[in-house]
Amino acid sequence: QVQLQQWGAGLLKPSETLSLTCAVYGASFSDYQWRWIRQSPGKGLEWIGDIHHTGTSSSNPSLQSRVTILFGASKNQFSLRLNSVTATDTAVYFCARVTIFHSMDVWGKGTTVTVSS
């Protein structure tokens, strides 16, 4: 059974860097693309960025200058860094697996990140 386990700091001050990690269990990391998505309170879903097993990454143009998506410390992990956070970055952040149909079939449980002074 494929599982994504995610973790990271949940409370940040403005201007700090958001850092989240997602670990993949039960699936080959190299067979898929991996994604970060966020959901602001009471709002819809927003694509943050992707990383391919080759290391190629892409990100939402609206966040691109602040986003880094990279492999984690272990070979089955990937991470998100979002620098210079503001209150508008307050959201639940999800990691997910992307299929060949570009749908997301496995999701992490989500990490609530609050940015507040």
Partner 1 sequence: EIVLTQSPGTLSLSPGERATLFCRASQSITSNYLAWYQQKLGQAPRLLVYGASSRATGIPDRFSGSGSGTDFTLTISRLEPEDFAVYYCQHYVTFGGGTRVEIK
Task: Catalog residues that contact partner 1 under the rule CB under 8 A.
Answer: 44-47, 50, 60, 94, 96, 99, 101-105, 107-110
Minimum CB separation from partner 1 for residue 29, in Å? 19
Structure tokens at 5: 């386990």
Pair 38, 96: CB distance under 8 Å: no
Minimum CB separation from partner 1 for residue 114, in Å? 16
Q: Which is nearer to partner 1, 47 or 71 (CB)?
A: 47
Amino acid at 82: L
Q: Which is nearer to partner 1, 16 or 46 (CB)?
A: 46
Q: Which is nearer to partner 1, 9 or 45 (CB)?
A: 45
Three-state secondary structure call for residue 66? coil
Q: Exposure of 25 by Cβ count < 10 A (0-12 exposed, 13-18 middle, 19+ buried)?
A: exposed
Helices assigned H by DSSP within the chain = none
Q: Which is nearer to partner 1, 44 or 55 (CB)?
A: 44
Minimum CB separation from partner 1 for residue 16, in Å? 25
